[in-house]
Amino acid sequence: MAKILVTGGAGYIGSHTRYFLEQRGHSVMVVDNLSRGHRELVPDKILHVLDLHDKQRLAALLKQERIEAVIHFAAYIAVGESTQHPEMYFANNVGGSVSLFEAMIEAGVDKLVFSSTAAAYGTPKKVPITEDQDIAPINPYGESKVMVETILDWLDRYRQFRSISLRYFNACGAEPAAGLGELHDPETHLIPLILRAVQTGKPVTIFGDDYPTPDGTCIRDYIHVSDLSEAHINAVEHLLNGGASDIFNVGTGIGHTVKQVVDAVEKVTGKKVPSTIGPRREGDPPSLVADSRKLQTTLGWRPTRADMEVIVRDAWHFAEAHVLKQK
Ligand code: UDP
């Protein structure tokens, strides 16, 4: 069992991955500056409140804890915000990553799993998307992740630094048994917004119903956060066993339209979703679905929670528990 550092472990995917790493018997430390993360999603004794730009403290922590590998989530993730403040995204997502890599090199840690994104493909020419499709991000968020992938490629060549970049499709769902779920502020993601509409009675806006899809709404590949977390564990164990650097898509290979997600929410909650149709959101491609066969064949990963009703059920449990906690 290994000693693993999770950056951004107080965030949505980071907190789930921390939980599953511990379940698998690994020893985990979390670094988070809590600028967007939530303290309550991390056990106090493993949390180090630290910014990635603080290279010296990071290197000291890596050495002191004898960390063997890092799973790196800490980043800004809001596409819209990235178009308003691109410099902030490059400083945090690229600058923070470079500082982390310098600290790792100083501490002699040379294995990293990187949280990348399907936004690397921009508007893809072909769906399902394979890893060899053109890299053509259409927003600074996607570009910031591509830049880090590129840096990792050079570090592999000249620093024997081994990394796996995981390009996620739409992370969703929750692990309510662990008290974990999605808590973004502001929330921009579809499933929590639909659940909030059910809870508050205020309608969710469906961004466009004139896309070239069966019901006119966008198609996305929704991947349960627990399945996604398990992909990180397979990836880090692969590196710890001497595996080579690589890049993988993480999705289910199944597309759901926005309206199909709304239908699943109505079925699971037994309540009508108040919704209105609005204009298209800028930069939304009609369809994004992963071809994840490479991940399945290389790392033996399988999504086991791909059913939309399972995803919604878990997200709903967390949303209901969270509302109760806030009352
Ligand atoms: N979406 C929507 N209304 C919302 C939020 C999202 O119709 O309030 C749609 C969005 O256009 C996209 C899908 O839901 O087709 C997923 O969007 P989300 O922001 O959750 O993830 P993204 O695909 O941008 O990573």
> Is 188 inside a domain boundary?
no
Domain annotation covers residue 126: yes
pLDDT of residue 300: 97
Question: Is there a domain that residue 186 lies in?
Answer: no
Query: Quick one: pLDDT at residue 47?
Result: 98
User: What mean pLDDT, rounded, does the chain reach?
Assistant: 96
Classify residue 34 as left (phi > 0), alpha (psi -120 to 50) or beta: left
Give the pLDDT of residue 303: 98
Please give the number of the atom of ligand 1 that sits closest to the Cα of 118: 25
Q: Is the pLDDT of residue 192 over 80?
A: yes
Give how many domains the chain has, as a whole number: 1
Q: What angle do CA 215, 291, 266 make, to 5 degrees?
A: 35
Compute the average pLDDT of residues 221-234.
98
The answer to whether residue 82 scores a pLDDT higher than 80 is yes
Residue 231 forms part of a structural domain? yes
Structural domain contains residue 43: yes
Q: What is the pLDDT of residue 327?
A: 61
Confidence of residue 60 (pLDDT cuts 50, 70, 90): very high
The pair of three-digit structure tokens given for residue 123, joined into one six-digit string: 């508007």
What percentage of the chain has pLDDT greater than the value 90? 94
Just list the catalytic residues.
141
Q: Which of 281, 311, 312 to mutate to test the pocket of ligand 1 (most atoms within 8 A of CB)?
A: 281
| pLDDT band for position 324 (cuts 50, 70, 90) | low
Categorize the per-residue pLDDT at 70 as very low, low, confident or very high, splitting at 50, 70 and 90: very high
The whole-model pTM stands at 0.97
Q: What pLDDT does residue 323 have?
A: 73
How many whole angstroms from 281 Cα to the centroid of ligand 1? 8
What CATH number does residue 78 fall under? 3.40.50.720
pLDDT band at 272 (very low <50, low <70, confident <90, very high): very high
User: Mutate which of 220, 221, 256, 262 to test ligand 1's pocket (most atoms within 8 Å of Cβ)?
Assistant: 220
pLDDT, position 322:
81
Is 204 a domain residue?
Answer: no
Question: What is the extent of the structural domain holding 159?
Answer: 3-171+224-250
**pLDDT number for residue 39:** 96
Structure tokens at 247: 């890049």
* Beta carbons within 10 angstroms of residue 41's beta carbon: 23
Q: Which helix (H) or strand (E) holds 184?
A: none
For residue range 130-188, list pLDDT tens digits in order: 999 999 999 999 999 999 999 999 999 999 999 999 999 999 999 988 999 998 888 99
With respect to residue 259, please indicate whether it lies within any of the assigned structural domains: no
Q: What is the DSSP string of 3-63?
A: EEEEETTTSHHHHHHHHHHHHTT-EEEEEE--SSS-GGGS-GGGEEE--TT-HHHHHHHHH
Domain contains 133: yes
